[in-house]
Amino acid sequence: MTFAATVWNENIHEVLEPHIMPFYPAGIHGAVADALYEQLGDAVTVHTATLDQEEHGLTESVLANTDVLFWWGHLGHDRVDDAIVERVQRQVLSGMGLVVLHSGHFSKIFTRLLGTTCSLAWRDDADREVVWTTAPGHPIAKGVPSPLVIEHHETYGEFFDVPEPEETVFISSFSGGEVFRSGLTYRRGRGRIFYFSPGDQKYPVYLHPDVRRVLGNAARWAAGDDFRRVPAVSHPALGELIETAARRR
Amino acid sequence: MTFAATVWNENIHEVLEPHIMPFYPAGIHGAVADALYEQLGDAVTVHTATLDQEEHGLTESVLANTDVLFWWGHLGHDRVDDAIVERVQRQVLSGMGLVVLHSGHFSKIFTRLLGTTCSLAWRDDADREVVWTTAPGHPIAKGVPSPLVIEHHETYGEFFDVPEPEETVFISSFSGGEVFRSGLTYRRGRGRIFYFSPGDQKYPVYLHPDVRRVLGNAARWAAGDDFRRVPAVSHPALGELIETAARRR
Amino acid sequence: MTFAATVWNENIHEVLEPHIMPFYPAGIHGAVADALYEQLGDAVTVHTATLDQEEHGLTESVLANTDVLFWWGHLGHDRVDDAIVERVQRQVLSGMGLVVLHSGHFSKIFTRLLGTTCSLAWRDDADREVVWTTAPGHPIAKGVPSPLVIEHHETYGEFFDVPEPEETVFISSFSGGEVFRSGLTYRRGRGRIFYFSPGDQKYPVYLHPDVRRVLGNAARWAAGDDFRRVPAVSHPALGELIETAARRR
Amino acid sequence: MTFAATVWNENIHEVLEPHIMPFYPAGIHGAVADALYEQLGDAVTVHTATLDQEEHGLTESVLANTDVLFWWGHLGHDRVDDAIVERVQRQVLSGMGLVVLHSGHFSKIFTRLLGTTCSLAWRDDADREVVWTTAPGHPIAKGVPSPLVIEHHETYGEFFDVPEPEETVFISSFSGGEVFRSGLTYRRGRGRIFYFSPGDQKYPVYLHPDVRRVLGNAARWAAGDDFRRVPAVSHPALGELIETAARRR
């Protein structure tokens, strides 16, 4: 059984200041795509898409053929077209998986699906981030050491204004004493959502073998199946409803 | 300790077809306000607001002085100004309570806070609705008989496309065999949200003594306290964070 | 990838009053095992075990080789040895899946894992049960029609005294107007638990094609992976903790 | 409106090694009781009880008159009589609040209500614990600074083997980099449970003004109301159920 991942990246830091990320010669999307191939091998086919493409590379056809969408954005949140955001939201509600990475917490698609500000505390002092597993039986934590240590990273801290998640899979601490719920799952409509905070553009986080393992696990966990349908109003006539159900058997 | 409730109603059925609701001479908002006074007495002051008022009656000042907002809408969802919806959302995230009633499931404010379609199945055949308590220790269920029977009501059925709630307080069945999660709680930002499905315009549901009890309990449960602040990004400098905290003690 | 299911049944009705279940010539365990083979084919190997066997058929070795355990009990809950219950609990916490069926809500293993009385309302008048899907994107609901109609069944009703579940997958209504949360998921330790209420001994419920589909989906969803470890206290020395983690990379 | 709190303490360290806690001349139970009076004033009456008393001081009468029970235990978990534990559990399920403190995570009452091992990682190196609020709108967090800093405390770390809570109110970090979910809410039956990890016997944690505020808030939040009933099986005859409900209106 194979599935299709699309890795979306705004691809702005890559163009404006490529010198800050010499470790990502193919961009953040390239690194994430590479991690998925490494972790999942033949089980996945990976496609990438960026902000500057026609329809941000997220045409109806691309999304209809995507089982799980990865999202990395930072400087360009406002430049994402509302119509495309609605399109992505509709696909998530109909069953497409969504993995939102790092500064994507402020993306239109994430705040729209969660309904909160998704704000947080932050500073960037190259602290050590220590990522602890708080749901060791969860498929996304499979094979991930606890703690997973990232030697240098931007600091994200609580209060992270998101709804209470279905499961808190990871919680991080930072050298300064902050904590952050760094791996959270949600279900919205028929779709599954995973937020994972590691991955600032200035640090080679997506080369970390255990972070890559999380990306692979998350892709597999969030990927929807073939069936896709936006939840919609139904209006059965009296009596028909139950009879239909009985006939269906 | 007293608190302030604002009951918002689009007030459209009342104007277009008052004959369908002879039992609500003061409108749906009037009936809900009356229920709150009956249940809570001196503990509450109730204000009402409607769609056709300036800023829909929901000025910054009104909202800043509202501890819990009730919302009833149906035909006029699209006529609610987006700027007002954002204003209400900001107040909820900062700590104002919100009680969404019946067809308000499709209101802009509810779908924006929940992030899903909030669609459902429905028909209107004056079925009997039987409301069962599934969280008997919850403050909203206090003193409410299980089941609470509404002799005639519009039918709402699953699948109700909302996020998994924090607590499922009530589940209803209907004569036709449908089930519906009719009382659901959520927390978003600092605010508490309760959705309660009874209350179609064609049936005198808000005169039912036990429904009125639910309204009173919900007002008390959702009402925020004096402190109100929208979650926002903070950006502490290195070292300052913890020292500040220590000084604060 | 294959996994191993063990279907445990107290096997008392089968011995005392086989005439009430002519449709289960191989017992309830036989019917459930048959459903799993039908639904999962080569992906599963199924083993059965019963109360009267040595150690109730649940030796350490059997459990260690079980990825998901099905549990059906009714008259014999008290006859299940406490030591065996503890053994099963330890395996669930270490990662074995558990699917508890129907009257198993009162089993020692279920009440011990959930911590509540697990009591409910019931009567047996051969009502029609209508099972609605409330989480259509959940793997356990895959391919299951909503509603799934069981023409005649014992009635279970709310209040069902269980903890708020991680996800409410199914809710049933009955001819008498009762509702019941009939499909609920929990995670305890590393293990996944699914409770599914259909399956009284007097009705051929496990021959229903869509019920069998639920059993197959539940087996696949709950089955743990190879790694199994009971959560335990760790006591790292100062400094060692993080260094160990760093070395592990 | 006033309510009654009972503070239970095993009172073993106080007897065996009083020199380690010169800051608690009246024992841990005395310090907690004092905090409740300080925070809640006339709203509360506080009673204390200890392991060595008849029935551990938790007679049916004491519990029936307790709205919220605080529990501190460490060395004596095994000496708590199973019959008393069952009695406490029954009261919690019937609506009494329960606040479990620190090493009480391993108490019989807590593990029985949660169903998991409740194990964790620990060491004791007088680390600084920084307690962050992750649910700022929750009544238990009211007026509590985020972070709340405890200069020296025993270290508790993840994985904390408890069920996914209803709300994660606090998460702590420690000097060594560990994180711990230090404030968690659960509902079981009609009762509310709060676990709060600060409070090792060797550190004067219950003298910390903000910790005392948490204790006061928790007492108020968890306290049940007058109505108390263990969830139990009901067995209505066909037809009677709904008619009864209708009559009740």
Chain A 215-244, CB below 8 Å of chain C: which residues?
224-225, 227, 231, 241-242
pLDDT in tens, A99-123: 999 999 999 999 999 999 999 999 9
**Could you give the CA distance from residue A115 to residue A52 in angstroms, rounded to a whole number?**
27
Chain C interface mutation, best of D164, D174, D186, highest count of C Cβ atoms under 10 Å: D164
pLDDT along chain D (249 residues), means of 10: 93 97 98 98 97 98 97 98 98 97 98 97 94 96 96 96 97 95 97 98 98 98 83 73 49
Give the per-residue pLDDT at B240: 52
Contact C158/B171, CB-based, under 8 Å? Answer: yes
Inspect the interface and report whether the beta carbons of C135 and B164 lie closer than 8 Å: yes
Partners of residue B224 in chain D, C-beta under 8 Å: 137
Closest chain A residue by Cα to residue D138: A164
Contact flag C134-B181 (C-beta cutoff 8 Å): yes
Closest-CA distance, D163 to chain C, in angstroms, reads 6
Are D202 and D21 in contact by the 8 Å Cβ rule? The answer is: yes
Q: Which residue of D has its CA nearest to A164?
A: D167
Q: Which chains, if any, share at least 3 CB pairs under 8 A with chain C?
A: A, B, D
Q: Do A115 and B119 touch (CB under 8 A)?
A: no
* Beta-ladder partners of C179: C173
| Cα–Cα distance for residue pair D140/D138, rounded to 1 Å | 5
Alpha helices, DSSP H only, in chain D?
13-16, 27-40, 60-64, 82-94, 108-114, 209-222, 240-248
The string of pLDDT tens digits covering residues A9-55 is 999 999 999 999 999 999 999 999 999 999 999 999 999 999 999 99
Show residues of chain B in contact with C131, CB under 8 Å: none
DSSP string, B180-226: EEEEEEEEETTEEEEEE----TTS-GGGSHHHHHHHHHHHHHH---S
- B147 with B131: CB under 8 angstroms? yes
Q: Which of A137, A147, A231 lies closest to C95 in CB terms?
A: A137
Condensed to tens digits (0 to 9), the pLDDT of residues B6-20 reads 999 999 999 999 999
Q: Is the pLDDT of residue A239 over 70?
A: no
Burial class of residue D247 (count of CB atoms within 10 Å of its CB; 0-12, 13-18, 19+): exposed
CA C105/CA C101 separation, integer angstroms: 7
pTM (two decimals): 0.95
Structure tokens at C66: 């079980």
Vertex D108 angle, CA D103 and D114, to 5°: 90
Give the residue from chain C lying closest to A148, CA to CA. C245
pLDDT score of C243 = 52
Instruction: List per-block mean pLDDT (blocks of 10 residues) for chain C, which spans 249 residues.
Output: 93 97 98 98 97 98 97 98 98 97 98 97 94 96 96 96 97 95 97 98 98 98 83 73 48
Q: Are strands C44-50 and B97-101 parallel, antiparallel or unpaired?
A: unpaired
The amino acid that residue C184 corresponds to is L
Determine the pLDDT at residue D233: 87
- Cβ contacts of residue B164 below 8 Å, gap of 6+? A166, A187, C135, C166, C167, C168
User: How many other CB atoms are found less than 10 A from the CB of residue A159?
Assistant: 23
| Chain B residues touching residue A159 (CB < 8 angstroms) | 231
Does the structure show a pLDDT above 90 at A224?
no
- Among candidates A184, A56, A133, which has minimal Cα distance to C229? A133
User: Going along chain D, which residue ranges are E strands?
Assistant: 3-9, 44-50, 68-72, 97-101, 121-133, 148-157, 167-174, 179-188, 191-196
Which residues in chain B touch residue D189, judged by CB atoms under 8 angstroms apart? Answer: 137
**Which has the minimum average pLDDT: A193-207, A233-247, B196-210?**
A233-247
> What DSSP element (H or E) covers A176?
none
Give, as one character, the DSSP assignment of residue B95.
Answer: T
Residue D3 near chain A (CB below 8 Å): no
Give the model's confidence band at A248: pLDDT under 50 very low, under 70 low, under 90 confident, else very high.
very low
Mean pLDDT, consecutive 10-residue stretches, chain B (249 aa), reads 93 97 98 98 97 98 97 98 98 97 98 97 94 96 96 96 97 95 97 98 98 98 83 73 48
The alpha-helical segments, DSSP class H, found in chain A are 13-16, 27-40, 60-64, 82-94, 108-114, 209-222, 240-248
Strands A44-50 and D167-174: unpaired
Q: What is the pLDDT of residue B249?
A: 40
pLDDT at res. A243: 52
**Sheet hosting strand A191-196, strand order edge to edge:** A44-50, A3-9, A68-72, A97-101, A191-196, A179-188, A167-174, A121-133, A148-157
Q: Is the Cβ of A129 closer than 8 Å to some Cβ of chain D?
A: no
| Nearest CA distance, B227 vs chain D (angstrom) | 9
Cβ–Cβ below 8 Å for B163 and A186 = yes
- Is A164 part of the contact surface with chain D (CB cutoff 8 Å)? yes
Q: Quick one: pLDDT at residue C238?
A: 58
Does any CB of chain B come closer than 8 Å to the CB of residue C53?
A: no
- The answer to whether the CB atoms of B95 and D208 lie below 8 A apart is no
Nearest residue, CB atoms, D188 vs list C115, C230, C231: C115
Of C188, C236, C238, the CB nearest to D121: C236
Task: Give D19-28 contacts, CB < 8 A, sequence gap 24+.
Answer: D20/D201, D20/D202, D21/D201, D21/D202, D21/D204, D23/D204, D23/D207, D24/D204, D24/D206, D28/D72, D28/D199, D28/D201, D28/D206
